[in-house]
Structure 1
């Protein structure tokens, strides 16, 4: 959810990505501040099973509109004479007013509603229905500023980027609200701020403070990549932030280990393009154009938070991604590397350790790797030795946990790596992979068996890669660490 754009003056950033959001139990988690300021957020009234969702950029959090919020503590306290900017991506799901970001006293506090916020107001608002609203308040409403974007500038069930800048003038003319990178024409509700807006309550995402474990104006929907700056961002900088969330970039990968990369399927939202609720393709970001077609998958159930960004969830019944045969995928002359993050579900329906198992990758009669019904990882390649036969790596992938596996072959030795470390029972191999006799399509999540797909993978797969060379142990460790 983050990148190097616009870090000058950045004093708070919460991407909510998997690497930054650490669960210590099914209902307890913290989310890291990637600005470097250490303003860690505590997830409150949220659940590991329901709160992490696919975001606009990587992973987001979904808020139930009842009692969910993220608490950052008493940080990012600005005065009415300070310059600052704040906002993020929102996906509003209900016709209910809700706070995106707020450092504001509770109603009935002393004084009432002191602080600042940005909220969405619903269709019942008397001033500007379905809009974004900013408050800067000493005492509501006698010593306060409040402005709103145009009626119906905010809509539900769509991602929108909402960002606020304030120049410290204590006048509404110094407030700008941007939606999707465009500065909005604002309606003024109040313009009479002449005293402090500083308070001692906690900064919150997903609503305003109303008590230690309660929330005022709880937000209904998803929030992603929230940022706070101690300066006024320019129009161009805000456009950059918006574009970062809309451009075709790969949130699941980085520039590491691109030498010899012939196929890479991050399965992120930017690369996985749905043309209907059940039809999609996923792009190959290696540059070799090995686009995959999602088969028997659904936009509502197959898209899931990944280890790095977005992943795909396979039902173990008939789901797979089909990638047509191409010269770039005929690896193993003699070298190759296969890599992916996998999170198996229930594997009891998979085959024995000796195969056939539930497939992660399969290019039938050339190469494949899979998981067995005892959670063991195995592989097969068609070469001189061991020939087209399953070999058990001795490594396991626990159900319900993300694990990174890499399999390398250099023409004489096959090594399987788990979470950056090599297996102790590496197997000897000999000869090139036979890519001539059979030139079948590559599949992720199923076997390309003659006549029909079989051996379906149950679980999630993320950042799948194929190289035409054997990565070194150091490169494998680097690849693993990129997703930790």
Structure 2
């Protein structure tokens, strides 16, 4: 949701320099019964100033090259403690200990820079940072659309576009709210129809709705990722072996709350994750089938509205009634690989609120 800045190389080099530093701090010796606070703080002061500069220049955020708020908070605590030692009366042993602690803190901090997860397999990443642009170089930019609602016999255009709303961090204009059939349409390319896939997104359902479509590529003729009864995650996919329907029970979404939802399909299994934790996995054979004809990806709807057929129930695009998302979505990642549990955990930890 935030522009990308990458300073991790500078900070990593700084941490390596600290790791190779040899410091000899000495002070005057006195009787064992007397507390000697005549310590040498020169190296600790230099290190404190350097680390403070690192802290000031390290961007806080949740995107690549940035640092989680908690990581910066922990480093600031270490800096403040070192400053306390620098300005107080402490023994040489205490000064040496503060120096070592601060060096460990900045080394740990340098490892917290956010790196893209499975970047080489990321088809698209819609951050919804005020727009529907794809944050990858692949340029799978979305288009705001009004969508079809109503019943099988009475379809109508909902006449509403997705609107920017507050995200899970309380930032306005950094997520999209969907209602009345509104959706985001992404022009088709063959890369949007991979053999294996993973979808990661943040979801805040407004209500329980049995056909809460989140991401769909030609419905059950390709795949559809939705919420179903009781707000379980639900994936239907047409594979080379069969068409599968699976849900995440017992993992579910709570109405009015943000949750991280992930589904993966391929390598012989379908797996669901809720808030970074695997909720269900089942063995399934095959890979995703290729579409017989191109159709645009829909976020928040079952099909692009110009593809519906309203008269012939034998048509694969026949309209059986409104199936669209009701709530808010954010930070959608679409991969052409099966994410591992570790990779899902890294995405969740990078993107969750502190």
Q: TM-score, normalised by structure 1?
A: 0.44
Q: CA RMSD in A?
A: 3.5
**What residue in structure 2 maps to residue 169 of structure 1?**
none
Aligned pair partner of 2:163 in 302, 312, 317: 302
Aligned-partner Cα distance in 2 for 1:398–1:385:
33
Structure 2: segments with no counterpart, 5+ residues: 11-51, 78-113, 147-158, 310-318
Q: Displacement of 1:20 after TM fit?
A: 8.3
- Mapped pair 1:378 → 2:234: yes
**What residue in structure 1 maps to residue 302 of structure 2?**
447
Q: Displacement of 1:366 after TM fit?
A: 0.7
- The count of residues paired between Structure 1 and Structure 2 equals 237
Tell whether the 8 Å contact from 1:385 to 1:429 is kept in structure 2 after alignment: no
SS in structure 1 at match of 2:255 = coil
- Mapped pair 1:330 → 2:193: yes
**What residue in structure 2 maps to residue 473 of structure 1?**
341
- Mapped pair 1:345 → 2:345: no
Q: TM-score, normalised by structure 2?
A: 0.58
SS in structure 2 at match of 1:8 = helix
**What residue in structure 1 maps to residue 182 of structure 2?**
319
Equivalent positions of 1:144-163 (< 5 A) are none
Tell whether the 8 Å contact from 2:197 to 2:335 is kept in structure 1 after alignment: yes
Larger RCO of the pair (alpha carbons < 8 Å, separation 6+) = 2
**What residue in structure 2 maps to residue 457 of structure 1?**
325
Q: Displacement of 1:259 after TM fit?
A: 2.3
Which protein is richer in strand relative to its size? 1
Which contiguous aligned blocks of 4+ residues in structure 1 show a shift greater than 4 angstroms? Answer: 1-7, 9-17, 31-36
**What residue in structure 2 maps to residue 258 of structure 1?**
119
SS in structure 1 at match of 2:140 = coil
Equivalent positions of 1:397-408 (< 5 A) are 397-408=253-264
Tell whether the 8 Å contact from 1:14 to 1:34 is kept in structure 2 after alignment: no
- Kindly tell me: are residues 14 and 35 of structure 1, through their superposed partners in 2, closer, same or farther at Cα, counting changes over 3 Å? farther
- Kindly tell me: are residues 472 and 14 of structure 1, through their superposed partners in 2, closer, same or farther at Cα, counting changes over 3 Å? closer
- Kindly tell me: are residues 463 and 254 of structure 1, through their superposed partners in 2, closer, same or farther at Cα, counting changes over 3 Å? farther
Which protein is richer in helix relative to its size? 2
- Kindly tell me: are residues 8 and 263 of structure 1, through their superposed partners in 2, closer, same or farther at Cα, counting changes over 3 Å? same
Q: Displacement of 1:8 after TM fit?
A: 2.0
- Kindly tell me: are residues 423 and 383 of structure 1, through their superposed partners in 2, closer, same or farther at Cα, counting changes over 3 Å? same
Structure 1: segments with no counterpart, 5+ residues: 22-30, 39-252, 273-281, 352-356
Q: Displacement of 1:343 after TM fit?
A: 0.9
Q: Displacement of 1:455 after TM fit?
A: 1.3
Q: Displacement of 1:318 after TM fit?
A: 1.9
- Kindly tell me: are residues 339 and 35 of structure 1, through their superposed partners in 2, closer, same or farther at Cα, counting changes over 3 Å? same
SS in structure 1 at match of 2:344 = helix
**What residue in structure 2 maps to residue 285 of structure 1?**
135
- Mapped pair 1:363 → 2:217: yes
- Kindly tell me: are residues 314 and 436 of structure 1, through their superposed partners in 2, closer, same or farther at Cα, counting changes over 3 Å? closer
**What residue in structure 2 maps to residue 206 of structure 1?**
none
